[in-house]
Amino acid sequence: MHYPAKKQRLLLAIVACTLAPPLLFAQSPEEYAGRRQAVRAAMEPNSVMILRAAATDSEDAPARRENNLYYLTGIDEPGAALVLYAEAKGGEGGPARAAGPREVLFVAAAGAAARAPAGASKPPERPGFESVRPAAEFPSYLDGILLGPIPVVYLDQRRSRSLSSPLTDDEQLLKQARDRGAAFTLKPAAPLIAPLRRIKSPAEIEILKTAAAITVEAQKEAMRTARPGLYEYQLQSVIEHVFSINGARRPGFASIVGSGPNSCILHWSENTRKMEAGDLVVVDIGAEYQRYTADITRTIPVSGTFTKRQRDIYEIVLAANRAAIEMLGPGVEMRDVNAKVDEILAAGLVKLGLIQDRSGLRRYYIHGLSHSIGLQVHDVGTLGRLEPGMVITIEPGLYLRDEGLGVRIEDDVLITDSGRLVLTAGAPKAVDEVERLMKEEGLDFSRYLLRPPAP
């Protein structure tokens, strides 16, 4: 049977996904155990750290739980919790606890969480952990910690939003503990884990490469499919179809498909507008794979070719994107990269007569250049001096709101021992490359459209 070229490409993608082995255990139990040990070493003597997942999935955040808990355990399950004990030392404060495991993991037994009575299920087996207990035991175990002699408790508590709001469960629990004489000092857990998450391991890098590769294919399919008359949400559906068919079960953040005036709204995700001839559309998307997310932005002309005005602005942003990437490497200070981008963008706008000097740049360049990516699209850790293992974005942009003309070009870059590796190089960004790809046949979903009856 003969298939058109587009169908052949889609069939090959499906076969490849079917035959490729799933990357289920890219990070080993030993890697997670090493992270837990590093955190324990950073904790104050005699202290304890408590990390918890949400008790159940919620409609607002289905299956998305506590990133730090996942980073230290590889476990993504409702009701899971981890307790870490620092080394016990005598002296002021005395020993924190009797001899026992340095870490205790609480998880529900497989298939038993909703059926078994509290405490009835057998502790599930989880390789690599010193002690594993049923999740049903965690509340009483936590009570024992808070009412015990431990001087410092690391806990990222859930806080109420205002003084007039009801206390959260955490705030009520901590108040009850203090009312009963608890005298521990409460400290946040996140600052001890953030420095580790800033540098990605080889296994994390492989996962991020996969997330980036999937997102690259989605960007390419968006270029093939975009056309006047299509709604932003329809283009979004094509993008997220490419995600899911490649094993990325959800976006890492709300997909941004902003056309015309919406191209100037940084976090536009309503995606409700019908794209018109002559529009630019900013496509800022990221596939989440194995809980890690990519983040790629391309700006494309809905009609398939850039107007002169669009191209003039686009080339300024592209030059800044390329120059910034060329500067990246270990030991580079991001403030120097930012300064170079500001210089290029400002010079381009001066040449076009939009500003008189660099002082006017912020009218058109209204966001930062870079952030880390990982378990979050804006991952933890500050960007100062770059180090090998960091994965960051480079995303200059210019926004002419009076003209409804916004351009952003964003790539994901791994800092290596000797320089950098652009994880998103496969997504076209040169003007001629974009226009050439947009001439290819895109995903045809017309058979699924429900057309209103003729009047």
Same domain, 224 and 179: no
Question: 414 is written with which tokens?
Answer: 């791994």
The residue that leads in pLDDT, 440 or 453, is 440
Check residue 207 and give its pLDDT. 97
Annotated active-site residue in 60, 92, 417, 432: 60
* Pairing verdict, β 250-251 and 103-107: unpaired
Same domain, 135 and 150: yes
pLDDT per position as a tens digit, 211-225: 999 999 999 999 999
The number of distinct structural domains making up the chain is 2
Annotated active-site residue in 103, 284, 288, 379: 284
pLDDT per position as a tens digit, 165-177: 888 888 888 989 9
Q: Is 233 in the active site?
A: no
Annotated active-site residue in 156, 232, 279, 410: 410
pLDDT band at 272 (very low <50, low <70, confident <90, very high): very high
Check residue 122 and give its pLDDT. 64
Same domain, 373 and 403: yes
Same domain, 284 and 350: yes
Q: Is 2 in the active site?
A: no
Same domain, 232 and 190: no
| H or E segment to which residue 405 belongs | strand 405-408
What is the pTM for the complete model shown?
Answer: 0.88
CATH code of the domain in which 355 resides: 3.90.230.10
Same domain, 364 and 419: yes
- Amino acid found at 449: L
Average pLDDT over residues 89-96: 51
The residue that leads in pLDDT, 6 or 110, is 110
- Amino acid found at 428: P
Domain that holds residue 175: 29-195
Cβ atoms of 246 and 290 closer than 8 Å: no
Q: Which of 161, 195, 229 is the last residue of a domain?
A: 195
Same domain, 191 and 301: no
pLDDT band at 88 (very low <50, low <70, confident <90, very high): confident
Question: Per-residue pLDDT for 112 more than 70?
Answer: no
Residue 7 included in any domain: no
Report d(CA 375, CA 346) in Å as an integer: 34
Q: Which of 195, 228, 247 is the last residue of a domain?
A: 195
Q: Which of 136, 165, 195 is the last residue of a domain?
A: 195
Residue 23 included in any domain: no
Residue 5 included in any domain: no
Q: Is 371 in the active site?
A: yes
pLDDT per position as a tens digit, 293-339: 999 999 999 999 999 999 999 999 999 999 999 999 999 999 999 99
Same domain, 331 and 257: yes
Residue 230 included in any domain: yes
Annotated active-site residue in 66, 156, 295, 379: 295
Tokens 């030993």 sit on residue: 30
Same domain, 149 and 253: no
Same domain, 290 and 236: yes
Check residue 65 and give its pLDDT. 61
pLDDT per position as a tens digit, 283-303: 999 999 999 999 999 999 999
Same domain, 175 and 47: yes
Residue 20 included in any domain: no
Report d(CA 18, CA 12) in Å as an integer: 10
Count other Cβ atoms within 10 Å, centred on residue 231.
15
Same domain, 164 and 57: yes
